[in-house]
Amino acid sequence: MNNHIWHATLVAFTVMLSVSTIGHARAHDHQRPELNSWYESLSSGKGPCCDGSDAKRVDDADWETKDGHYRARIDGEWVDVPNDAVVDGPNRAGRTMVWPYYLHGALVGVRCFMPGSMG
């Protein structure tokens, strides 16, 4: 019986370790590791943007400015970006990114938005 518990514990630990390393491997653009600390430093008026792993890249056709405010298409729906969600400073990644947040699977809002260059 003790051997079975030891085996189950070892399997659970291995799975947890694998999941934790997979999350880091997915984070933003792994082809440009020099941007890691930059991603981690990003924040808006709503707080830290996190490390980029939960950011969505936005194609040029899926964001715009309207009446002096940004809008982005997230999951097929146009969403107004609150002014305090806009990240100030240069975009070292070059691509437009949005950090949406969800509650029970439904889009609630935008935590951070970093415009790229249209064109």
From CA 73, how far away is CA 79, in angstroms rounded?
6
Asked, for residue 62, whether it belongs to a domain, the answer is yes
Asked, for residue 13, whether it belongs to a domain, the answer is no
pLDDT digits (tens, 9 = 90+) for 76-112: 999 999 999 999 989 998 999 999 999 999 999 999 9
Torsion of CA 26, 100, 57, 83, to 10 degrees: -140
Asked, for residue 9, whether it belongs to a domain, the answer is no
Report the pLDDT value the prediction gives residue 23, as an integer from 0 to 100. 36
- What range defines the domain where residue 107 resides? 43-114
Q: What total number of domains does the chain contain?
A: 1
Asked, for residue 7, whether it belongs to a domain, the answer is no
Cβ(72)–Cβ(62) below 8 Å: yes
Asked, for residue 27, whether it belongs to a domain, the answer is no
Sheet holding 96-103, edge to edge: 56-58, 96-103, 106-114
pTM, whole model, 2 decimals? 0.70
Asked, for residue 20, whether it belongs to a domain, the answer is no
Report residue 29 as tokens: 């653009």
Asked, for residue 59, whether it belongs to a domain, the answer is yes
pLDDT digits (tens, 9 = 90+) for 56-69: 999 999 999 989 99
Q: Where are the alpha helices (DSSP H) in the chain?
A: 2-26, 36-41
For the cut 60, the answer to whether the pLDDT of residue 17 exceeds it is no
| Residue 95's CATH number | 2.40.50
40-77 as b/e, with b when 16 or more CB fall inside 10 Å? eebebebeebbbbebbeebeeebbeeeeeebbbebeee
* φ, ψ for residue 68, nearest 5 deg: 80, 10
Asked, for residue 25, whether it belongs to a domain, the answer is no
